[in-house]
């Protein structure tokens, strides 16, 4: 039986951190054997809010590729590729853009929240938002449908993108009287989200509150030592009332493959300082093999580029097949 097709991706706007690792990479690894996976480094999407920093996006393409491979993505099983190298995605985005109203895009909750965060780029009321940024969900629908993906592992914030993709698919099939694409389903990871080490809801580069997969052990320990906690003294798992210490317990539980409610029992009687030292040591131990693999890859950038080239070729075959079906359906197969 043919395997179902899986596509997911990351924006190369920074290297990946442990939030990405537990929230999405682990899930990705677990699905690698049972699906036909496509993993995209979404440079075109990263440019929608970094169009003025092309060197940053370029540098992070290899970083994100190396993070994925070091984490265990096997380029023989998964086609790891760069979005901009598949021009059929851009072409499909143009065709799809006729099927989506500007109002629908303006109402997308994830896009709305991002516009509000990026005042310096898009204005305090979002009055300077670009056509490209507002439209990135359309381009994301093309990312997914170009390989005719069935399943898309993502975080919760991406659910509106999947809903839009299904709407576009239905509309496309209806208007052009065809049946080319599956209705792609999101696959949410069951790992809980790790908060930033400063207590904010998300790890992110701009907040400087993340442990990167590529951080060295000293930097990692320093970040954990500096992580925000509360003025309590006992280690408990109570995310509602004691969110920061609970977040560290959660991280401890994840690296020990335990439930936080059980992990907390190991930690009884420890003070915060001792717990943080233990957490840093254990996290460094957990990440050591990944980091060793990553160091090997860093020493061989040409090898990483070859793997991306292998991925590009695999996606290209599929993308050409899809776009020719699309052109026929749209009567532009001259």
The residue ranges that bind ligand TRP (CB under 6 A) are 7-11, 40, 42, 45, 140, 143-144, 152, 154, 158
Q: Please give the structure tokens belonging to residue 151.
A: 């399943």
CB of 25 to ligand TRP, least distance (A): 12
* Ramachandran region, residue 294 (left: φ > 0; alpha: ψ -120 to 50; beta: rest): alpha
**Would you say 18 or 144 has its CB closer to ligand TRP?**
144
Q: Which residue is nearest to ligand TRP (CB)?
A: 42
**Would you say 43 or 215 has its CB closer to ligand TRP?**
43
Report how far residue 36's alpha carbon sits from residue 186's, in angstroms, rounded to the nearest whole number.
15
**Would you say 146 or 263 has its CB closer to ligand TRP?**
146
| 293-300 own/partner pairs: CB under 8 Å, 24+ apart | 293/69, 293/70, 294/66, 294/67, 294/70, 294/213, 294/214, 297/66, 297/69, 297/70, 298/66
CB of 160 to ligand TRP, least distance (A): 10
CB of 152 to ligand TRP, least distance (A): 5
**Would you say 73 or 248 has its CB closer to ligand TRP?**
73
**Would you say 154 or 203 has its CB closer to ligand TRP?**
154
CB of 76 to ligand TRP, least distance (A): 22
Report how far residue 266's alpha carbon sits from residue 319's, in angstroms, rounded to the nearest whole number.
51
Q: Cα angle vertex 134, ends 99, 316, to 5°? A: 65
CB of 224 to ligand TRP, least distance (A): 25
Find tokens 């059929």 and name the residue.
88
Strands of the chain, DSSP E? 4-10, 35-41, 79-82, 151-154, 185-188
**Would you say 7 or 213 has its CB closer to ligand TRP?**
7
CB of 155 to ligand TRP, least distance (A): 7
Which residue, 76, 88, 91, is CA-closest to 39?
76
């Amino acid at each position: 039986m043919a395997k179902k097709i899986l596509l997911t991706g990351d924006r190369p706007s920074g290297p990946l951190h442990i939030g990405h690792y537990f929230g999405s990479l682990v899930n990705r690894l677990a699905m690698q054997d049972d699906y036909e996976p496509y993993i995209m480094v979404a440079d075109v999407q990263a440019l929608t809010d970094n169009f003025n920093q092309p060197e940053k996006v370029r540098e992070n393409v290899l970083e994100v590729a190396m993070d994925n491979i070091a984490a265990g993505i096997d380029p023989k099983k998964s086609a790891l590729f760069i979005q901009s190298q598949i021009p059929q995605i851009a072409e499909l985005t143009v065709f799809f853009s006729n099927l989506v109203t500007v109002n629908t895009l303006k109402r997308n909750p994830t896009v709305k929240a991002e516009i509000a965060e990026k005042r310096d780029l898009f204005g305090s009321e979002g009055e300077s938002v670009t056509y490209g940024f507002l439209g990135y969900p359309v381009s994301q629908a093309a990312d997914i449908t170009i390989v005719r993906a069935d399943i898309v592992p993502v975080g919760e914030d991406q659910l509106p993108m999947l809903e839009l993709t299904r709407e576009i698919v239905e509309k496309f099939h209806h208007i052009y009287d065809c049946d080319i694409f599956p209705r792609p389903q999101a696959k949410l990871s069951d790992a809980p989200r790790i908060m930033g080490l400063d207590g904010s809801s998300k790890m992110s580069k701009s907040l400087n509150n993340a442990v990167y997969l590529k951080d060295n052990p000293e930097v990692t320990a320093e970040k954990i030592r500096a992580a925000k906690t509360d003025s309590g003294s006992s280690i408990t798992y109570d995310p509602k009332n004691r969110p920061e210490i609970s977040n560290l317990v959660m991280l401890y539980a994840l690296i020990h493959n335990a439930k936080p409610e059980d992990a907390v029992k190991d930690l009884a009687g420890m003070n915060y300082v001792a717990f943080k030292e233990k957490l840093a040591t254990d996290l460094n131990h957990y990440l050591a093999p990944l980091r060793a693999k990553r160091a090997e890859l860093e020493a061989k950038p040409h090898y990483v580029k070859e793997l991306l080239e292998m991925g590009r070729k695999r996606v290209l075959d599929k993308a050409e097949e899809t776009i020719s079906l699309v052109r026929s359906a749209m009567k532009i197969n001259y």
